[in-house]
A and B are shown apart, each in its own frame.
Chain A
Amino acid sequence: MSKTLESYKKQLHDNLQTAIELEHSTIPPYLAAYFTINQDTNTFSWNVIRSVFMEEMLHMTLACNIMNAVGGHPSIDNPKFIPEYPTKMEFADRKFDVGIIKFSKASIETFLEIEKPSEDKLMVRGEYAKNLMQPIKLKEKTIGEFYNTIKKQLVYLVDTYGEDKVFNGDKSLQITPKDYYGGGGEIVVVDNLDKALFAIDIIVDQGEGAAGTIDDGDDAYFGQDQEVAHYFRFNEIYLEQQYKPTDVPNKKPTGEKVDVNWDAVIDMVNNPKASDFPEGSPAREKAEEFNQLYSHFLRALHLAFNGQSSLIVKAIGMMYQMKYLAAELLNCQVPNSKQFAGPPFEYIMPEARKQYTWLIDELIADTKTQQN
């Protein structure tokens, strides 16, 4: 019996690790689009993309809270954690490239593919008691459906083995609401099935819309302003028109026109890599610095999600520094090209990391002693 629980749990942990990686993998592409436009010349798009990646950070955190709640351990600072861009994203019915590319119609198309809503009715909260299902394989059509699978696994395990055995994680590892700010939604401290399912609802609804609507659920869940889900927010940029609250998912938006300045975009090379730029060039120097910072950032997140939650403050500080560094990179012309460098988001092995930002001084020693 316990052996079976263990093996099921391993599968659940693997799925949650995939969820964490999935949430994270969308962030660099979103950031690339965000970094290449300007708050004053593309205000609407800038706000949309900012709100989306802030919520992706929330989703990643929520997935980590679920993982910790069920006795798993998020693994964030490892080479497999970061995909090499462009990466393939694969769902049951489609496969597409996701890359670090500048804000453009093409990049928004990709974002729409990522956040595509499910056409099937997903499990809603409260229904789970009747759903005695076997764990199923991970071959879903949307992110929402993938999370639905995790939901089913959780429900199955709780029904079979009891809540105490499933939610047996160390409670002190949970990230609490005070650690997240600046976007829609709120951190949920997960210590039982209900909370876990709620956390998943937040993730799915913010991304795809709540139960067949365009709404992201934040108004109902948190009393925040009504807002449409990621897919529809991207669609507003794509179609240059806002949704009205009464609009429905499968129809075009009918609200106010939106100003999207497709030309006021920094011409960044696609999928920049530090090694693409000649040694000694500003682009190379800043790209390497960016990768260093990004890797330190992952380290900080890893530690934060594994017991040192106070490091979230530093991790957010590093995100800000990444933004400023990316802006510098985007000012560095690629030698012999009209295009500009950009943030590569490449993993640096812990032993090759350098100390150059005050934010990470205390992490360095730690990185050297307890590599995962």
Chain B
Amino acid sequence: MKSLKKKPIDLFENLSIVLTGFSKADIVGTGLVQTYFDTVKKELGKEIFEAILNAIENIKISNPEHPSDKNARQIKDLMGNINFKTPVSQIIQLWYTGEWVVGTFSPENYIVSSESYLEGLIWKAIAAHPMGGKQPGYGTWGFPPQTFTSKN
């Protein structure tokens, strides 16, 4: 990854923040940044992975937690790009579900680890908890749901 000015893992972290819509603290708090960096690099291959990191470096996102409208448009364009659409979706799915998704019900899909399933951001996004983990405690389901999001 010689062509990159910033450290690839930092770029990946920024990319992850902007793609998932979660804070840096939430992303780091999963403990999976390095694991997912390795997973994505292995699955996409060095070339595509580097191209994505390059693209994100070129976009120069000043604040990944609150991307500017321009940055948001640039990311949207990236997702619309035929070369990047699938890998970018795969990265989002990885963060949201802990699963590397090759295709719907593809036998090549796999969940990286028990932790990655339990840290799936989708559960936080829907104000719930992973099915089968991080139980909220007796009787809590009888209370009204969260009506506001956390600081993000």
Residues of A within 8 A of B (CB): 181, 282, 285-286, 313-314, 316-317, 319-321, 324, 327-333, 355-359, 361
Assembly CA distance A332 to B29 (angstroms): 6
CA distance A282 to B29 in the complex (A): 7
A316 contacts across to B, CB distance below 8 A: 137-138
1/0 per residue B14-39: CB within 8 Å of A? 00000000011111111100000000
Q: Are A358 and B24 in contact (CB under 8 A)?
A: no
Interchain CA distance A271-B34 in the complex, whole Å: 26
A313 with B146: in contact, given A331-B28, A332-B29 (CB under 8 Å)?
Answer: no
Can you give 22 A-B contacts (C-beta < 8 A)?
Answer: A282-B24, A282-B29, A286-B25, A313-B137, A313-B140, A314-B140, A316-B137, A317-B136, A319-B137, A320-B135, A324-B134, A327-B31, A328-B26, A329-B29, A331-B28, A332-B28, A355-B148, A356-B151, A358-B143, A358-B147, A359-B140, A359-B143
Q: Mark B115-141, 1 if CB is under 8 A from A, else 0.
A: 000000000000100000011111110
Interface residues on B, range: 20 to 34
B150: Cβ under 8 A from any A Cβ = yes
Known A320-B137, A329-B29, A331-B28: A285·B23 in contact at CB below 8 Å: yes
Contact A181 B31 (CB under 8 A): no
CB pair B29–A317 under 8 Å, yes or no, is no
B145 contacts partner chain A, Cβ-Cβ < 8 Å: yes
Do residues B137 and A331 form an inter-chain contact, with CB atoms below 8 A? no
- B38-75 near A? 1/0 per residue, CB < 8 Å: 00000000000000000000000000000000000000
* Residues in A neighbouring B143, C-beta threshold 8 A: 314, 358-359
Residues of A within 8 A of B134 (CB): 320, 324
Instruction: Looking at the assembled complex, report how far the CB atom of B110 sits from the nearest CB atom of chain A, in whole angstroms.
Output: 20
The verdict on B103 contacting chain A, using a C-beta distance below 8 Å, is no
Which chain B residue lies CB-closest to A340? B31
Q: Shortest beta-carbon distance, A176 to chain B, in Å? A: 14
User: Whole-angstrom distance between the alpha carbons of A328 and B139 in the complex?
Assistant: 24
Name the A residues within 8 Å of B127 (CB-CB).
Answer: 358
A39 to B75, CA, bound (A): 40
Structural contact, A282 and B146, CB atoms closer than 8 A: no
Q: Which residues of chain B are near A332, meaning CB under 8 Å?
A: 25, 28-29
Set of chain A residues within 8 Å of B145, measured between Cβ atoms: 358
